[in-house]
Chains A and B, each alone.
Chain A
Amino acid sequence: MQSNVKNALIWKFAILIISIVTAAIYLLPATPAYKYMPNIYKDNMPNKGLTLGLDLQGGLHLIFEVQSDKAVATTFNRMAVSLKDIITKKNIPFKDIKVEGEKLIVESTSMDVIDTVKASYPNLEANKSDSNIIFSLPNAEMARLKDGATDQALETIRNRIDAFGVSEPVIQRQGSNEIIVELPGIKDPKRAIDLIGKTAQLKFQLVNDESPVAAELPASVPVGQEDAFEATFAPKVPQDSEILFERITKPESGQTIKKPFLIKKEALLTGDLLTEARVSIDSRYNEPYVSITFNSVGAALFADVTGKYVKKRLAIILDNNVYSAPAIQEKISGGNAQITGSFSMAEAKDLAIVLRAGALPAPVKMIQNLTVGPSLGADSVVAGKMAGLGAIILVIGFMIFYYRLSGVIADLALIVNIFLLLGIMSILNATMTLPGIAGIILAIGMAVDTNVLMFERMREEVRAGKTARTAINSGYDKAFYTIIDSHVTTLITAAVLFQFGTGPIKGFAVTLSIGVTLNLFTSLIGTKSLFDLINYNKEIKNLSI
């Protein structure tokens, strides 16, 4: 009998000590002591420590919605441009090719159109009407296109963020057309958001100087009134052209104006033919600009275009904003071009990044932005620590005051409990959030409940005149189911919160549920063993409770 008790005790303490040591090893990297450890230790032992959530270290949590419908339009427009070329070359008569909604319309009655189009784009389905042939994509194909747009947007955003340089970003897809981006520890959130959200469609289009309308355009339009201006001017604009603006900041006054341009709609060259984009500094004005290099196809096209339109103005347009519109002096054959504009260094750098990473297949819309500044993050860490310490002191103090030596034992269990909780968080590589800290603090209050229930049982047994050992044993036995019942519902709600909650709330669910589960472990294995140990050698007469 006695040796049975002894064996059980040894086992229980062994389990406890192994747990505590394991937790300590995993927690060490989160403590200041870690930097004094030798390299051989750092290389071979856990080195991650606790991961702080965005709400504690500061950072961005963004959700973008990919406008995948626009990706369809982009694809159709591209098809239209290349089909125009192909059909012209084959000398098939047609009036025009245009895109309406999710349909590509060839204004022609020639049956050869269908074969020619199908030869290039076998997925298109043809429908003939009186004077048009209407092409569309089957639904499955459309879905694939939209789906692909989200994937491609994700890749592009990842490349941009990598180039921007953020440590441990999270970029993942959610649902059919959403992208979640988490950027910890960002100093300039606005810049990061702009960088990710920019579509970065680079186009080279001719300035329509031949039209008499061009001469009617005012030199500038006040910022914010572009749309109104466009609306009033729209009836005069020729069919093949559109009005786009250049943003100009006057160096002497710092005032910003918008200069309108009449631009031909047709894109002669686009940014997907780029191989390189770098920031260079203009030696004369000491202003940064972005120099771009085309791939071989792009270089040939660029030479072609510049040769064909000498003396005309070629506008460089990014996301419907004119950056510059220099007149072509001569045919440019090297495949190099420059994008100038009144950039700051950061703007030029970001422009180079987005051009290198490529355009998004469709515009993205930001539908959620949670930004936590580094100062609030730091404040929250302090607040969390203070609240945790406050709770520990209050609860520990109360337990010792109320239950004396038994209270000390419960407090030991409590401290082990918190320690193991943090250790498990590190092992699971779970993220610590501010609500997560709140979960730990609540778990502190709940953890001692288990012991309170047992102690109160023991007190009853003592009052009933039982010996200390019997009081301890029956106290534990009788309180057991009450304890289990009182924990299970907390675990149920924690599980629900984990399932349905957002990031920080998930953190709360994790700490609360680990805390409550550990509580069973530390009180049933921990405090019970301590009582048994105290009781082992000598039967205690007076239970300090």
Chain B
Amino acid sequence: MIEIIKKTNINFMGFRNYAFTFSGILMILGIIAIIQVARGSANLGIDFAGGTEVQVKFDHSVTLQQVRHVITENAGIKDFELQDLPTVNKVLIQIKGKEDTVGQYSDKIVNALKDGFKDNTITVDSISEIGPKVGSRLRIDAMWAIIAASIGILVYVTWRFKFRFSVGATIATFHDVLAVLGLFYIMGAEINLILLSALLTIAGYSLTDTVVVFDRIRENLGLINKYSIIEIVNRSINEVFSRTIVTSLTVFLSGVSLFIFGGEILHGFATAILLGVIIGTYSSVFVATPIVLLFGGGEKIAKRK
């Protein structure tokens, strides 16, 4: 047998105060991110904010300064953002929330670039133009998606687990999503539709590790007369620790492949999934489980059962 982690005997619950502090900070970050999104001051993608996005591929390399100059001079557009994509010689030009009827900026930008870089072949990779009406509709859909997913997970978890477990699982799920969102926010990364789907995926997957730990705690509760609840929890986590790591690792490996090979479109998605898997694994041990102890009222209630 090859074991990444041999039989461990770590006092996981001993770290819970540090973990609560750390997780508290992450969750606050996430809540700040949500507030900023609602106020419209976060870096929203054009799918939510409305606007124009043109992705072009140059035959040979150009600097962002050159591109900026050409667009300002030839197209007469001043207020735009430029982004160098991780793929070679690709540039993303973004104008947020300007036009009611879409279709004016992209033509200007493409023509300006073709005029401005005559000795360079320019391929238009993609043009996305989202009018304010569609943008606000996507925002509303996103909100409903979050609400529906939250209710769905809540209902399932409450139905499947006893109260204290379901509280732990639910908080851990929200923790994971908030943490990833918060990290995206402080990184200044774009918050868009595809990040939202990554966040919901994280919410769905978050429970996987948590369930593994919880199931073991439930099983081991039979030993309650011999050991204290803290001992049982620690013992349970130690017993399933290796599989928690391995199940996360396999998804993490998939995410790594997506991150490396998936191209610029899936880059943000892959980043979110990788962060989500790490945070989800951490939270199943250090957030979900200590909360079970907290809400279970500690040893007394457990012993009376």
Chain A contacts to B: CB under 8 angstroms: 55, 63, 65, 189-190, 193, 197, 365-373, 375-376, 379-380, 383-384, 386-391, 394-395, 398-399, 401-404, 434-435, 438, 441-442, 444-446, 448-449, 452-453, 456, 459-460, 481-482, 485-486, 488-497, 499-502, 504-505, 508-509, 512, 545
B2 beta carbon closer than 8 Å to chain A: yes
Contact across chains for A394 and B254 when beta carbons are under 8 A apart: yes
- The smallest beta-carbon distance between A309 and chain B, in angstroms, is 37
Given that A387-B257, A394-B257 are contacting pairs, would A492 and B156 also be in contact in the complex, using a CB cutoff of 8 Å? yes
The contact of A453 among B144, B205, B212, B269, by CB within 8 Å, is B212
CA distance A494 to B265 in the complex (A): 20
CA distance A508 to B156 in the complex (A): 22
Contact across chains for B126 and A441 when beta carbons are under 8 A apart: no
- The smallest beta-carbon distance between A418 and chain B, in angstroms, is 12
Contact across chains for A370 and B246 when beta carbons are under 8 A apart: no
- The smallest beta-carbon distance between A483 and chain B, in angstroms, is 9
B18 beta carbon closer than 8 Å to chain A: no
Contact across chains for A485 and B211 when beta carbons are under 8 A apart: yes
Measured between beta carbons, the chain A residues less than 8 angstroms from B142 are 500
The contact of A490 among B107, B141, B205, B254, by CB within 8 Å, is B205
Given that A449-B247, A482-B211, A512-B201 are contacting pairs, would A395 and B254 also be in contact in the complex, using a CB cutoff of 8 Å? yes
Category for how many chain B residues contact A = 35 or more
Per DSSP, are chain B's interface residues mostly helix, strand or loop, or mixed? helix
- The smallest beta-carbon distance between A447 and chain B, in angstroms, is 8
- The smallest beta-carbon distance between A195 and chain B, in angstroms, is 13
Measured between beta carbons, the chain A residues less than 8 angstroms from B255 are 442, 445
Contact across chains for A189 and B256 when beta carbons are under 8 A apart: no
B57 beta carbon closer than 8 Å to chain A: yes
Contact across chains for B145 and A489 when beta carbons are under 8 A apart: no
Q: Nearest chain-B residue to A516 (Cβ)?
A: B204
Given that A379-B263, A489-B204 are contacting pairs, would A496 and B250 also be in contact in the complex, using a CB cutoff of 8 Å? no
Measured between beta carbons, the chain A residues less than 8 angstroms from B211 are 482, 485-486
Measured between beta carbons, the chain B residues less than 8 angstroms from A482 are 211-212, 215
21 contacts between A and B (CB under 8 A): A366-B101, A368-B130, A369-B129, A375-B125, A383-B261, A390-B256, A390-B261, A391-B254, A394-B254, A402-B4, A402-B246, A438-B262, A441-B257, A442-B273, A481-B215, A482-B211, A489-B206, A493-B204, A496-B149, A500-B145, A502-B138
B189 beta carbon closer than 8 Å to chain A: no
- Which 8 pairs from chain A and chain B are nearest by CB? A445-B254, A390-B257, A383-B263, A493-B204, A445-B251, A367-B131, A386-B261, A486-B208
Q: Nearest chain-A residue to B212 (Cβ)?
A: A482
B19 beta carbon closer than 8 Å to chain A: no
B249 beta carbon closer than 8 Å to chain A: yes
The contact of B250 among A384, A395, A404, by CB within 8 Å, is A395
Tell which of B25-33, B192-200, B291-299 binds the partner. B192-200
Given that A190-B107, A445-B254, A495-B152 are contacting pairs, would A501 and B145 also be in contact in the complex, using a CB cutoff of 8 Å? yes
Measured between beta carbons, the chain A residues less than 8 angstroms from B153 are 489, 492-493
CA distance A371 to B124 in the complex (A): 9
Given that A63-B134, A387-B260, A445-B250 are contacting pairs, would A505 and B197 also be in contact in the complex, using a CB cutoff of 8 Å? yes
Q: Nearest chain-A residue to B125 (Cβ)?
A: A376
Q: Nearest chain-A residue to B215 (Cβ)?
A: A482
Other A-B pairs beyond A189-B127, A373-B125, A444-B254, 17, CB < 8 Å? A366-B102, A367-B101, A367-B130, A373-B123, A387-B258, A390-B261, A434-B266, A438-B262, A445-B254, A460-B239, A488-B156, A489-B206, A492-B204, A497-B197, A501-B141, A501-B193, A508-B197
Task: Tell me the B69-121 residues at the A interface (CB within 8 Å).
Answer: 87, 100-103, 106-107
Contact across chains for B207 and A367 when beta carbons are under 8 A apart: no
CA distance A368 to B210 in the complex (A): 41
Measured between beta carbons, the chain B residues less than 8 angstroms from A399 are 250
CA distance A370 to B134 in the complex (A): 12
B252 beta carbon closer than 8 Å to chain A: yes
Measured between beta carbons, the chain A residues less than 8 angstroms from B238 are none
CA distance A55 to B2 in the complex (A): 42
Given that A65-B133, A456-B243 are contacting pairs, would A499 and B145 also be in contact in the complex, using a CB cutoff of 8 Å? yes
Measured between beta carbons, the chain B residues less than 8 angstroms from A444 are 254
B301 beta carbon closer than 8 Å to chain A: no
Given that A391-B254, A435-B194, A497-B145 are contacting pairs, would A489 and B207 also be in contact in the complex, using a CB cutoff of 8 Å? yes
Contact across chains for B152 and A493 when beta carbons are under 8 A apart: yes
Task: Tell me the B238-283 residues at the A interface (CB within 8 Å).
Answer: 239-240, 242-243, 246-247, 249-258, 260-263, 265-266, 269-270, 273
Measured between beta carbons, the chain A residues less than 8 angstroms from B152 are 489, 492-493, 495-496
Task: Tell me the B213-247 residues at the A interface (CB within 8 Å).
Answer: 215, 239-240, 242-243, 246-247
Contact with A along B2-42 (1 / 0, CB 8 A): 10100000000000000000000000000000000000000
B128 beta carbon closer than 8 Å to chain A: yes
CA distance A441 to B197 in the complex (A): 15
Contact across chains for B197 and A435 when beta carbons are under 8 A apart: yes
B1 beta carbon closer than 8 Å to chain A: yes
Contact across chains for A494 and B204 when beta carbons are under 8 A apart: yes
CA distance A490 to B206 in the complex (A): 9
Contact across chains for A442 and B242 when beta carbons are under 8 A apart: no
Question: Which of B87, B206, B247, B255 counts the most A-chain CB atoms under 10 A from its CB?
Answer: B247
CA distance A179 to B134 in the complex (A): 13
Measured between beta carbons, the chain A residues less than 8 angstroms from B106 are 369
B289 beta carbon closer than 8 Å to chain A: no
Measured between beta carbons, the chain A residues less than 8 angstroms from B4 are 402
Given that A373-B125, A488-B156 are contacting pairs, would A438 and B102 also be in contact in the complex, using a CB cutoff of 8 Å? no
Q: Nearest chain-A residue to B245 (Cβ)?
A: A452
Contact across chains for A489 and B156 when beta carbons are under 8 A apart: yes
- The smallest beta-carbon distance between A59 and chain B, in angstroms, is 11
Measured between beta carbons, the chain B residues less than 8 angstroms from A389 are 257, 261
Measured between beta carbons, the chain B residues less than 8 angstroms from A401 are 2
Contact across chains for B200 and A449 when beta carbons are under 8 A apart: no
Measured between beta carbons, the chain B residues less than 8 angstroms from A505 are 193-194, 197
Contact across chains for A456 and B266 when beta carbons are under 8 A apart: no
Measured between beta carbons, the chain B residues less than 8 angstroms from A485 are 160, 207, 211, 215
Contact across chains for B197 and A501 when beta carbons are under 8 A apart: yes
